[in-house]
Amino acid sequence: MNLRALLFSFFPHPMHPNFQPMPLLKRAAPFDDPDWIYELKMDGFRALAIVEHGRAHLFSRNGHPFASFSALAESISDSLSNVRAVIDGEICSLDRRGRPQFKNLLFRRGNPPCFFAFDLLTYGKDLRTERLLDRKQELRR
């Protein structure tokens, strides 16, 4: 499965050939600003979930397929069976307290991996020009 070809089917307009999720930023000290959204940093693998024709495919931020997470992709497919969507998120493994454990994810131990979705790029149509807060609200539905 080729990420660029699959994304082109969602975004037929000319676009940057190296479409990638926006990198997260780390700051040395917390700050408070009403113009910013704050979210917990989940410790896992950044991924794009692409759902089409009842199947989900997971890709790394560099466009490589996450073939080893086929059960997770199938679970996403079951949740969004009749939808065309591109979802930006993080693949994580949670401990019994619900905290991400990167080593468990890396070595495939502990609880099965889960997908934390934090941005909805398409949902039947291209949403990238919509406000981030509106896309997040649509994601919660």
Q: What is the model's pTM?
A: 0.81
**What are the pLDDT digits (tens) for 65-105?**
999 999 999 999 999 878 889 999 999 999 999 999 999 99
Kindly state the DSSP code that residue 58 receives in the 8-state scheme: E
Cβ-contact 113, 91 below 8 angstroms? yes
Q: What is the dihedral of CA 69, 70, 73, 78, to 10 degrees?
A: -140
pLDDT at 4 over 70: no
Q: Give the CB-side neighbour count of residue 129, counting CA atoms within 13 A.
A: 3
Using pLDDT thresholds of 50, 70 and 90, give the confidence band for residue 17: very low
Q: Length of the chain in residues, anyone?
A: 141
Give me the active site residues, please: 41
pLDDT at 80: 87
Using pLDDT thresholds of 50, 70 and 90, give the confidence band for residue 124: confident
Which CATH code for domain 3-12+42-135? 3.30.470.30
pLDDT at 49 over 80: yes
pLDDT at 35 over 90: no
